[in-house]
Amino acid sequence: MKVNVDETKCQGHSRCYIIAPEIFEVDDYGYSHSKFTDDLPKDLEEKAKLACENCPEFAIEISE
């Protein structure tokens, strides 16, 4: 599973980071990006889904 943040949609309120700091990093303004360019570790997949479901901007993309 891969996770990506669409920077054109991200509004920088850091919700994803609060849910899954193992997966996401935020800049000084709260805008997020994924730490992982390759597949996520299996044990982080559920957290990635939870963060995706809680992003109000639908900015987090998950692909298999």
Q: Which residue from 14, 22, 45, 61 is in contact with ligand SF4, where contact means CB under 6 A?
A: 14
Helix (H) or strand (E) holding 41: none
Is 59 one of the binding residues for ligand SF4 (CB under 6 A)? yes
Is 48 one of the binding residues for ligand SF4 (CB under 6 A)? no
First and final C-alpha spacing in the chain: 4
- Specify the pairing of strand 24-26 against strand 2-5: unpaired
- For residue 64, give the 3-state DSSP assignment: coil
Is 16 one of the binding residues for ligand SF4 (CB under 6 A)? yes
Contact positions vs ligand SF4 (CB under 6 A): 5, 10-16, 30, 32, 55, 57, 59-60
